[in-house]
Amino acid sequence: MAGIRGYWTLAAAAIAFRILLLFCLPKDFHLGSHPEITTPLTSLRRRTSPVACSWRKVTGSSRRPCRPTQVSPFPRVPTGERAELVRCIMAPLCYCQFSGPLVLKDLKGDLLISTADFITATLIRATGKKLMLSRYKHLQILNLSKLVETSGFVDSGDFAALMYLWNPMTIVICIGSSTSPIDNLMVVMAIYGACSRIPPLAAFGWVFAVHLSLYPVILIVPIILLLGYGLDAPPSKSFLLKNSYARKNSTLAKIQVNSGTSSQTDKAINHFSWIPVLHFALWVSVWLGYVLFLSSISLKGIGSITEMFRKTYGFILTVEDLSPNIGLLWYFFAEVFDFFRNFFLIVFHVNILFVILPLAIRLKHRPCFLAFVYIAISSMLKSYPSLADSTLYLSLVTLFSNELADMQFSFFLFCGYIAVSLFSPVMHNLWIWRGTGNANFYYATGLAYACLQTILVVESVGSMLKHDRLLRKTVEAEH
Predicted local confidence at residue 166, as pLDDT: 92
Distance CA 477, CA 420 (A): 44
- Per DSSP, 78 falls in state P
At 120, give phi and psi (nearest 5°): -60, -45
Q: Residue 70, SS3?
A: strand
- Supply the pTM of this predicted model: 0.84
Predicted local confidence at residue 2, as pLDDT: 53
Distance CA 405, CA 411 (A): 12
User: Structural domain boundaries of the chain?
Assistant: 14-233+270-478
Q: Residue 315, SS3?
A: helix
Residues in the chain: 479
Q: Which among 381, 415, 412, 379 is positioned nearest to 396, based on CA atoms?
A: 379
Q: Residue 479, SS3?
A: coil
- Per DSSP, 430 falls in state I
Predicted local confidence at residue 34, as pLDDT: 83
Amino acid code (one letter) for 194 = A
Contact 385, 379 (CB under 8 A): yes
Instruction: For 369-392, give one letter per residue: b (16+ CB within 10 A) or e.
Output: bbbbbbbbbbbbbbbbbbbbbbbb
Predicted local confidence at residue 246, as pLDDT: 55
Instruction: For 443-466, give one letter per residue: b (16+ CB within 10 A) or e.
Output: bebbebbbebbeebbebbbebbee
Residues of the chain with pLDDT under 50: 48-88, 100-106, 251-259, 261
Which CA distances in Å does 189 have to 211, 238, 448? 14, 31, 30
Contact 407, 463 (CB under 8 A): yes
Instruction: Supply the mean pLDDT for the chain.
Output: 78
Distance CA 376, CA 283 (A): 27
Distance CA 89, CA 387 (A): 19
Distance CA 173, CA 320 (A): 24
Q: What count of other Cβ atoms lies within 10 Å of the Cβ of residue 422? A: 10
3-state helix, strand, coil in the chain (%, to 5): 70, 5, 30
User: 225 Cβ partners below 8 Å, 6+ apart?
Assistant: 360, 364, 367, 370
Distance CA 140, CA 238 (A): 13
